[in-house]
């Protein structure tokens, strides 16, 4: 990770109150040096060439001759190769999209910890290069019963088998699907045991459940009513810190699009949407895809995995592709007896039956997602 004391920051912000907020947050720490705050977007690229900041922060709603989105494009096309953190407000949600020059997103209001942690993260990613950056994969479906949790668990274990240091987050906060699947005792710590004001690496190590399959799991609360105690801000901070400790993070998300679910998806590099040959699942998937497009998710962020691909139920592959507007990126065959038995034992089938066709399909998906077949684990 980058040395926090070396972070030189240039800010493009034309709202005095926001500028002052950033100055106040940075005035009480020594990890970031604020080079300048510019309220004119037309001057930012030239200033960046002269000042050579480590990170540029841009207000999405920046006004003037060069507005926020235009400035982000200019910085991306300038050849300066400086990571950009975009400020926004809840009314204008934005997804991280490095291809568009958006390396991270901060939503107002934010704390000093969130600001410094975000700057540290984007700089570390840029210095490590794309091969060393953590990949966050949210496994999602707008309908239950499609095998989402089973796929998330086995995908995470498959990544671990490749030598990738992997964390699995039980994002189904209300019902704790992974806690149930793995038969974890109710007194094992959960995301609720992380302090809400400041999350540190040592805090995470104390609450992560080490699964016998070799991956670390951040569990959901043990009781249904506890889910509402976890906020979107808690989720954002946790993902940001986990990125520093692992090569891959797999998130088992709930089926509902709540504020917390959107925080999980926003913080992900890939949304792996699970579909089956089921008309309701396909309908819901199309409806949610329109929502994702409207809030700015890039097409390359969305991936589709066709589960039970050998059980068409009368729906053809071409019909499915036409409905989705593309062919699924991955296919996983069905193996009801093997999968149910493994789930009942709380074990991943990629471990109990690594040579089965369903395991091979998951392994291929893991390899494709990471862009390699093996790797060295990260020390943590």
pLDDT digits (tens, 9 = 90+) for 163-217: 999 999 999 998 888 988 998 888 899 998 877 555 566 667 778 898 888 899 9
Whether 346 is in a domain gets the answer yes
pLDDT of residue 207: 87
Query: What CATH number has the domain bearing residue 25?
Result: 3.40.50.2300
| Structure tokens given for 161 | 């088998």
Domain co-membership, 113 together with 150: no
The pairs formed by 297-303 with CB atoms below 8 angstroms and a separation of 24 or more are 297/95, 297/97, 297/265, 297/271, 298/95, 298/97, 298/99, 298/100, 300/99, 301/95, 301/97, 301/268, 301/269, 301/270, 301/271, 302/271, 302/273, 303/270, 303/271, 303/272, 303/273, 303/329, 303/330, 303/369
pTM over 0.75: no
Domain co-membership, 118 together with 159: no
- Rounded Cα gap, residues 165 and 148, in angstroms: 21
Domain co-membership, 61 together with 159: no
Q: b/e for 65-99, b at 16 or more Cβ within 10 A?
A: ebbbbebbebbbeeeeebbbbbbbeeeeebbbbbe
Residue 375: which H helix or E strand, with range? none
Whether 183 is in a domain gets the answer yes
Tell me the per-residue pLDDT of 316-361, one tens digit each, with 9 for 90 and over: 889 999 999 999 999 999 998 999 999 999 999 999 999 999 999 9
Boundary-marking domain end, from 81, 110, 131: 131
Boundary-marking domain end, from 78, 100, 131: 131
Domain co-membership, 193 together with 67: no
Domain co-membership, 160 together with 295: yes
- Whether residue 373 has pLDDT greater than 80: no
Q: Helix (H, G, I), strand (E, B), or coil: what is residue 55?
A: strand
CA angle 201, 204, 209 (to 5 degrees): 145
Whether 290 is in a domain gets the answer yes
| Structure tokens given for 211 | 């699964």
- Phi, psi (deg, nearest 5) at residue 280: -70, -45
Whether 380 is in a domain gets the answer no
The range of the structural domain enclosing residue 78 comes to 4-131
Domain co-membership, 187 together with 319: yes
Tell me the per-residue pLDDT of 55-101, one tens digit each, with 9 for 90 and over: 999 999 999 899 999 999 999 888 777 899 999 999 988 888 887 88
Domain co-membership, 217 together with 331: yes
**Residue 271 pLDDT class (50, 70, 90 cuts):** very high
pLDDT of residue 302: 93
- Rounded Cα gap, residues 132 and 339, in angstroms: 33
Domain co-membership, 185 together with 96: no
Domain co-membership, 28 together with 175: no
CA angle 237, 244, 103 (to 5 degrees): 70
Whether 180 is in a domain gets the answer yes
Q: What is the DSSP letter of 97?
A: B
Among left, alpha and beta (phi > 0; psi -120 to 50; other), residue 81 is left
pLDDT of residue 201: 63
Mean pLDDT, residues 251-278? 93
Mean pLDDT of the chain: 87
- Rounded Cα gap, residues 339 and 362, in angstroms: 12
Boundary-marking domain end, from 131, 166, 185: 131
Whether 376 is in a domain gets the answer no
Percent of the chain topping pLDDT 70: 92
- Rounded Cα gap, residues 254 and 140, in angstroms: 7
Task: Tally the domains of the chain.
Answer: 2
Going by DSSP bridges, is the β-strand pair 216-218/209-210 parallel, antiparallel, or unpaired? antiparallel
- Rounded Cα gap, residues 235 and 224, in angstroms: 17
Tell me the per-residue pLDDT of 279-302, one tens digit each, with 9 for 90 and over: 999 999 999 999 998 888 888 899
- Whether residue 28 has pLDDT greater than 70: yes
Domain co-membership, 319 together with 173: yes
| Structure tokens given for 77 | 């096309």
> Could you tell me which residues come within 8 angstroms of residue 242 by beta carbon, excluding any fewer than 6 positions away?
134, 167, 169, 204, 218, 249
């Amino acid at each position: 990770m980058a040395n926090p004391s070396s972070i030189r920051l240039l800010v493009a912000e034309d709202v005095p109150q926001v500028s002052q907020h950033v100055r106040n947050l940075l005035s009480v720490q020594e990890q970031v040096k604020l080079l300048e705050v510019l309220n004119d977007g037309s001057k930012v690229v030239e200033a960046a060439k002269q000042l050579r900041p480590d990170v540029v922060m841009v207000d999405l709603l920046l006004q003037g001759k060069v507005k926020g989105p235009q400035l982000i494009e200019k910085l991306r096309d300038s050849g300066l190769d400086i990571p950009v953190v975009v400020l926004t407000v809840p009314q204008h949600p934005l997804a991280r999209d490095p291809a568009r020059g958006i390396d991270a997103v901060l939503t107002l209001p934010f704390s000093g910890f969130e600001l410094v942690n975000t700057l540290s993260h984007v700089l570390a990613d840029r210095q490590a290069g794309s091969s060393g950056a953590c990949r966050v994969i949210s496994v999602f479906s707008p309908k239950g019963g499609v095998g989402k949790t089973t796929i998330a668990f086995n995908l995470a274990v498959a990544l671990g088998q490749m030598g990738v240091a992997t964390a699995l987050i039980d994002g189904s906060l209300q019902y704790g699907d992974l806690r149930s699947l793995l038969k974890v005792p109710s007194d094992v710590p959960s995301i609720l045991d992380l302090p809400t004001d400041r999350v540190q690496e040592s805090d995470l190590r104390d609450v992560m459940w080490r699964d016998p399959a070799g991956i670390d799991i951040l569990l959901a609360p043990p009781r249904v009513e506890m889910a509402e105690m976890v906020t979107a801000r808690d989720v954002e901070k946790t993902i940001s810190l986990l990125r520093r400790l692992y090569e891959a993070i797999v998130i088992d998300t709930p089926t509902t699009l709540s504020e917390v679910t959107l925080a999980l998806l926003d913080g992900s590099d890939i949304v792996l949407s699970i579909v089956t040959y089921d008309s309701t699942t396909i309908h819901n998937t199309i409806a949610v895809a329109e929502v994702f497009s409207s809030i700015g998710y890039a097409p390359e962020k969305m991936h589709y995995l066709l589960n039970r691909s050998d059980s068409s139920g009368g729906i053809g592959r071409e019909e499915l592709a036409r409905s989705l507007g593309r062919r699924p990126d991955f296919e996983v065959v069905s193996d009801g007896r093997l999968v149910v038995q493994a789930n009942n034992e709380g074990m991943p089938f990629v471990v109990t039956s690594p040579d089965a066709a369903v395991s091979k399909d998951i392994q291929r998906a893991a390899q494709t997602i990471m862009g390699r077949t093996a790797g060295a684990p990260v020390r943590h």
